[in-house]
Amino acid sequence: MKRMTRGAAVTSAIALAVTMAVGITPSHAATTLTMIAADYPGDGHTQQDQWTDFATRFHAANPDITVNVIVKSWNDIDQYVATQIASGQTPDVVNKGDYSAPAAAGLLYPASKIVSPATLADILPAFLNNSKYNGVVYALPDLASARALFYNKDLLTKAGITKLPTSWLSLTTDLGIIHRKLKGIYGYAIPLGPEEAQAEFNIWAGGNGGSYYNYATKAWVLNSPANVATATFLKSLTTKGYTEPNPDKCDRTACAQALFAAGKAVFINGSVFLGSWLKANGGAKLNVGTGSFVSNTGHKPVTLGVQDYFTAYSKNGNQAAIQKWMDFIYEPANYAKFLVAAGGFIPATKSAGAKAASDPALAPFIKLLPNAVFYPGDIASWNSVKGQIQQGIGQAVTGDPAKVLGQLQTAAAAAK
Of 101 and 146, which has the nearer Cβ to another protein?
101
Of 14 and 82, which has the nearer Cβ to another protein?
82
Binding site for another protein (CB under 8 A): 78-79, 81-87, 101-102, 104-105, 107, 193-194, 245-246, 248-249, 258-259, 262, 264, 380-381, 383-384, 387-388, 390-392, 394-395, 398-399, 404, 407, 410-411, 414-416
We find the least distance from the C-beta atom of residue 222 to another protein, in angstroms, to be 14
* Ramachandran angles phi, psi of 182, nearest 5°: -110, 100
We find the least distance from the C-beta atom of residue 189 to another protein, in angstroms, to be 11
We find the least distance from the C-beta atom of residue 84 to another protein, in angstroms, to be 8
Of 251 and 327, which has the nearer Cβ to another protein?
251
Of 362 and 396, which has the nearer Cβ to another protein?
396
We find the least distance from the C-beta atom of residue 388 to another protein, in angstroms, to be 6
Of 165 and 376, which has the nearer Cβ to another protein?
376
We find the least distance from the C-beta atom of residue 371 to another protein, in angstroms, to be 30
Of 354 and 414, which has the nearer Cβ to another protein?
414
Distances (CA, A) of 229 to 101, 206, 207, 386, 412: 30, 12, 11, 20, 19
We find the least distance from the C-beta atom of residue 130 to another protein, in angstroms, to be 19
Of 108 and 342, which has the nearer Cβ to another protein?
108
Of 50 and 390, which has the nearer Cβ to another protein?
390
We find the least distance from the C-beta atom of residue 395 to another protein, in angstroms, to be 4
> What is the C-alpha to C-alpha distance for residues 150 and 266, in angstroms, rounded to an integer?
8
Nearest CA to 210 out of 81, 302, 331, 104 is that of 302
> What is the C-alpha to C-alpha distance for residues 160 and 176, in angstroms, rounded to an integer?
12
SS3 readout for the chain: CHHHHHHHHHHHHHHHHHHHHHHHCCCCCCEEEEEEEECCCCCCCHHHHHHHHHHHHHHHHCCCEEEEEEEECCCCHHHHHHHHHHCCCCCCEEEECCCHHHHHCCCECCHHHHCCHHHHHHECHHHHHCCEECCEECCEEEEEEEEEEEEEHHHHHHCCCCCCCCEHHHHHHHHHHHHHHCCCCEEEECCCCCCCHHHHHHHHHHCCCCCCEECCCCEECCCCHHHHHHHHHHHHHHHCCCECCCHHHCCHHHHHHHHHHCCCEEEEEEECCHHHHHHHCCCCCCCEEEECCCECCCCCCCEEEEEEEEEEECCCCCHHHHHHHHHHHHCHHHHHHHHHHHCCCEECEHHHHHHHCCCCCCHHHHHHHHHEEECCCCCCCHHHHHHHHHHHCCHHHHCCHHHHHHHHHHHHHHCC
We find the least distance from the C-beta atom of residue 188 to another protein, in angstroms, to be 16
We find the least distance from the C-beta atom of residue 404 to another protein, in angstroms, to be 8
We find the least distance from the C-beta atom of residue 79 to another protein, in angstroms, to be 4
Of 341 and 412, which has the nearer Cβ to another protein?
412
218: left (phi over 0), alpha (psi -120 to 50) or beta: left
Of 165 and 394, which has the nearer Cβ to another protein?
394
